[in-house]
Amino acid sequence: MKGGTNRGQMVWLVLVAALLGVQGAAGREKPKELPFRFRGGTLGPIETCKGVLETSSYELTFRCGTDAIAVPYSSITLMQYRADVSRKVRKMKLHWKLEPPVGGGNENRYFTIIYNESGGRQGLVLEVSPAAMRPYLAEIDLRAGRRIDVQNHEVYQYR
């Protein structure tokens, strides 16, 4: 090969980079500020509050003060990260303790999770900036075994 690098060295470099990436994600420090804000849910607090989202091998847990909402990955039926709470979610007619806000924008900020628990369909809506959500997207996709539907806001110019 050109440049004096052989295939074995390239594979070794890719493996080392992958291991460092996994170690970095696992050793991720908790953020100094609380990036997630509870904005709606069928369970949990009846007012907005800031908290953290923890991922374990079998569930997502949102902690806000003394309240905690645990969502097993196996119970999740829908995950969205959008600029608003989608029409599809609103048509589900969930019994919200705190109704999620209406409105959109040009930047994703609402992470919505629909899941089955307590004999029925439940919903959780968290507000989070794209920069704070980015590290969670792949990890949640992988652990939940399903994709988060992320709304695309890119504008394409056709030539």
Between CA 149 and CA 158 the distance in angstroms is 25
CATH number (domain holding residue 35)? 2.30.29.30
Q: What is the pLDDT of residue 33?
A: 81
As a dihedral over the C-alpha atoms of residue 115, residue 59, residue 151, residue 97, rounded to 10 degrees, the angle is: 50
Is 95 within a domain? yes
- Number of domains within the chain: 1
Is 80 within a domain? yes
Is 16 within a domain? no
pLDDT band at 23 (very low <50, low <70, confident <90, very high): very low
What tokens were used for 158? Answer: 């056709």
Is the pLDDT at 31 greater than 50, yes or no? no
Is 53 within a domain? yes
**In which domain, by residue range, is 64 found?**
31-150
Is 36 within a domain? yes
Is 102 within a domain? yes
Is 25 within a domain? no
Q: What is the pLDDT of residue 51?
A: 95
